[in-house]
Amino acid sequence: GAGVSQSPRYKVAKRGQDVALRCDPISGHVSLFWYQQALGQGPEFLTYFQNEAQLDKSGLPSDRFFAERPEGSVSTLKIQRTQQEDSAVYLCASSLFRDYLSRGTQYFGPGTRLTVL
């Protein structure tokens, strides 16, 4: 695969439903990031994995948000009991090395647009 892929590209959920968003990073990339982008705003950091270890989850807005990367490749962002304020584009990014080697170059997927009704 050429780049980071995300699925689904669009998701509509009723308030209170659980959703799962998938990210397939570029093969071999060690670092994986999730960002949330509200309409008209820049992306905001949610969480960071180095291989399977979740090293930073300081950006997760509530305990309804959970992310995992069990085998150090594919990652899933799960949102429980969705609320209208969760409506946003969820972006996944990966980088080849640890930060100091990749020099901050992250490769982003196209995002999943989540709409909560």
Q: Which residues bind another protein (CB under 8 A)?
A: 4, 31, 33, 35, 41-45, 48, 50, 55-56, 59, 91, 93, 95, 98-100, 102-111
| Per-residue tokens: 22 | 């998938």
Compute the distance between CA of residue 18 and CA of residue 98 in angstroms, rounded to an integer. Answer: 32
Output the smallest distance, CB 82 to another protein, in A: 22
Nearest to 1 by CA among 21, 20, 28, 19: 28
In angstroms, what is the minimal distance from the CB of 23 to another protein?
A: 11
Which is closer to another protein, CB of 56 or CB of 85? 56
Task: Kindly tell me which of 14 and 53 has the beta carbon lying closer to another protein.
Answer: 53
Closer residue to another protein (CB): 10 or 16 = 10
Minimum distance from residue 32 beta carbon to another protein (Å): 11
